[in-house]
Amino acid sequence: MPSEFSLKAIKIMKNIPGGKVVTYGQVATYAGNNRGARQIVRLLNSSWEKEQLPWHRVINSKGKISLTPGDGYELQKMLLENEGIQFDENDLIDLSRFGWNINI
């Protein structure tokens, strides 16, 4: 039985529109725990496949991909660019333009 936090987090992530991204902190806050970023990490690692979550649209608060090159970074960047998201010269995503304003 998943926690209420998990249910909300999953519901939110399943609603992220293409071409937009959200941060761990945002999802955690809207799911009811503004300090639950790590639980979001757990969810993405353990059940993104089962819950069909767009894991690539979840990034850290600086607008940067947290994966390391060679371990999914390239894949995630490619998936995002494929949705129209652009990266600046420092590989950062402009959250003011591509960040999704959650409203469930």
- What is the rounded CA–CA span in Å between residue 104 and residue 35? 19
35 binds DNA, rule: CB under 7 A = yes
Q: How far is the CB of 101 from DNA (least distance, A)?
A: 15
Using the minimum distance from each CB to DNA, give the nearer residue, 1 or 104: 1
Query: Which residue, 34 or 86, is less far from DNA as judged by CB?
Result: 34
Select the residue interacting with DNA from 12, 36, 77, 93 (CB under 7 A).
Answer: 36
For residue 18, state whether it binds DNA (rule: CB under 7 A). Answer: no
User: By the 8 A CB rule, do 8 and 31 touch?
Assistant: yes
Produce one character per residue of 77-90: b if its CB has 16 or more CB atoms within 10 Å, e if not: beebeeeebebeee
Under rule CB under 7 A, residue 55 binds DNA: yes
CA distance 93 to 90: 9
Closest CA to 38 of 63, 66, 19: 66
- Closest approach, Cβ 102 to DNA, in A, equals 14
Contacts to DNA by CB under 7 A: 2-3, 5, 23-25, 28, 33, 35-42, 44-46, 48, 55-56, 58, 60-62, 66-67, 72, 76
